[in-house]
Amino acid sequence: MSGVNRRTFLMTTGATAVGLASSTTSRAVSAAGRLDANNQIRVAVLGVNGRGTAHISSFEAAKDLGATVTMLCDPDRKVLEKRATEFESKYGRKVETEIDLRKVFDRKDIDVVTVATPNHWHALATIWACQADKDVYVEKPGSHNIFEGRQMVKVAAKTGRIVQHGVQLRSSEAIREAVDHLRNGTIGKVYMARGLVYRWRPSIGHKPDLPQPPAHLDWSLWQGPAQERAFSERLVHYNWHWHWDYGNGDLGNQGVHQTDMCLWGLGVELPTEITAMGGKFLFDDDKETPEQLTTLFKFPNNTMIQFEVRPWITNDEAGVGVGNIFYGSEGYLVINGYNSYQTFLGKEKQPGPKGKDSDPMNKHVRNFLEAVRSRNPELLHGPVETAHTSSALAHLGNIAYRLGRTLKFDPATERFVGDAEANTYLTRSYRAPFVVPETV
């Protein structure tokens, strides 16, 4: 598929693709010739402390498509053993376990890997998996920096692997219907989108560095592409989100669902101008990322995105604490969470079309498996390009915040204009052997 057609697909795919994907289950075999409609799709889940548990349940719920979880992988032996015990109790069979994800990629009997590791591992795990002839379901954000996202797009194209980004709201029939309303002029000419992430994020306190990591954790493997540092309980297993080496703050955590929704709804990709302001205004703790952050993005087609993160006691906006608002010449459209929308029309804000359906996580996994069976990436609701662009928007906002100035960006080259310092933030210094390659 050409770049232009691929972009058109990302911007215009609507609810009709759900039915299209459902019609392809019995079609062609995989590129490696391993899969047909009667064979299993053998799944390994990488990272099982948090989102990996949702991956396990959603893939196990897709047995009619041949999915079966056969391996769990995590560098923390205690977490891994706990999840394996839970798996056997829930599903009535044992599952293999592995500490090192590289050994998972070596396995010829694994067809799909899902990536639910910390953010700094997402891109490299995806690249290595594609190079090892695996299809990939990768959690948001797809990348930890902008260079990584582009490398993910390249490796998927080069290897022909199916890569789905975990922005499951794209598989909600209600949200796809909402995008159709934006495309069809229900609220008139759409000129602006807002992303809202108002999450309760308390202080994480202060935790010292320790001389040794716990015996059950492979600390070097957990750190992966990041530069090696002393172990601290402030990082494992959730608060790494608030440290630049591993996470991307809430803009690049919960926020990637909403940055993706903004881009999808507006039909845009990358901005030309970015500004941001925020800081740590509440807590004296070990967080490095801002608690409060407001970002603005301007696009070549004269549309704009405003994205705001608030961490504590706050009001909802248009009834939304986590979601999106789209503004048009004839009204506005509100996305609440992952699966509902409402429109308000005219100067009097009269209620217009609305919709709601069930949680879309299982649907998103099924959409991925349909594409795996058909070998057709055009069926994907959250293709690898979304892993790049929606994550990149978060990265751009964070870079503008960290530098404290408005930035000019060239979407064609994916470089900042006349700003060598800003361009240093496009990638990172990798730690061998965990290096995202220049050539994939």
> Given a cut of 60, is residue 17 above it in pLDDT?
no
Neighbours of 322 (CB within 10 A): 19
- Sorted by sequence, the CB contacts under 8 Å of residue 331 that are 6+ apart come out as 186, 187, 188, 343, 344, 345, 346, 349, 352
Rounded distance between C-alpha atoms, residue 299 and residue 279, angstroms: 25
Q: What is the mean pLDDT of residues 149-174?
A: 98
166 SS3 class: coil
User: Quick check: 37 pLDDT over 70?
Assistant: no
Q: What are the tokens at 302? A: 């004269």
What percent of the chain lies above the pLDDT cut of 90? 91
Polymer length of the chain: 440
Residue 27 is predicted with a pLDDT of 29
- Reduced to 3 states (helix: H, G, I; strand: E, B; else coil), residue 335 is strand
pLDDT, one tens digit per residue, over 381-429 is 999 999 999 999 999 999 999 999 999 999 999 999 999 999 999 999 9
The pLDDT of 20-38, averaged and rounded, is 39
Q: Which residues of 234-258 are buried (b: 16+ CB within 10 A; e: fewer)?
A: bbbeebbbbbbbbbbbbbbbbbbbb
pLDDT at 182: 98
Mean pLDDT (whole number) for 230-244: 96
pLDDT of residue 166: 98
Q: Residue 319: name the closest of 291, 281, 351 by CA.
A: 351
pLDDT value of residue 35: 53
* Closest listed residue to residue 225, CA positions, set 159, 126, 108, 98: 126
Helices (H), 294-419: 361-374, 384-403
Q: Could you give the residue ranges of the DSSP H alpha helices within 28-75?
A: 52-60
**Comparing C-alpha atoms, which of 118, 66, 138 is closest to residue 128?**
138
- Structure confidence at residue 7 (pLDDT): 42
Q: Averaged over 140-157, what is the pLDDT?
A: 98
- Name the band, by pLDDT with cuts 50, 70 and 90, for residue 36: low
The arrangement of secondary structure in 171-204+238-357+391-423, i.e. its CATH architecture, is 2-Layer Sandwich (3.30)
The residues spanned by each domain of the chain are: 3-169+361-383, 171-204+238-357+391-423
The answer, yes or no, to whether residue 176 has pLDDT greater than 60, is yes
Q: What is the CA radius of gyration of the chain?
A: 21
HEC sequence for 170-203: HHCHHHHHHHHHHHHCCCCCEEEEEEEEECCCCC
* pLDDT tens-digit series, residues 335-362: 999 999 999 999 999 999 999 999 999 9
Question: Region 150-179: what's the mean pLDDT?
Answer: 98
Q: What is residue 14's predicted lDDT score, i.e. its pLDDT?
A: 42
Q: 104-121 pLDDT, tens per residue?
A: 999 999 999 999 999 999
pLDDT band at 200 (very low <50, low <70, confident <90, very high): very high
CATH H-level, domain 3-169+361-383: superfamily: NAD(P)-binding Rossmann-like Domain (3.40.50.720)
pLDDT confidence band for 72 (50 / 70 / 90): very high
pLDDT cut 70: percent of the chain above it = 91
pLDDT, position 39: 86
253-257's contacts with Cβ under 8 Å and 24+ in sequence apart are 253/119, 253/141, 254/197, 254/199, 254/322, 255/195, 255/197, 255/307, 255/309, 255/394, 256/140, 256/141, 256/167, 256/390, 256/391, 256/394, 257/140, 257/167, 257/168, 257/169, 257/338
Burial class (CB in 10 A: 0-12, 13-18, 19+), 156: buried
| Mean of pLDDT values over 301-308 | 96
Mean pLDDT of 113-130: 98
Instruction: Tell which residue, 254, 218, 233, 203, has the closest CA to residue 391.
Output: 254
Q: What is the 3-state secondary structure (H, E, C) of 247-307?
A: CCCCCCCCHHHHHHHHHHHHCCCCCCEEEEEEECCCCCCCCCCCCEEEEEEECCCCCEEEE
Q: Does 18 score more than 90 pLDDT? A: no
For range 265-289, the mean pLDDT: 97
CA 71 from chain centre, in angstroms, equals 22
CA distance 131 to 271: 31
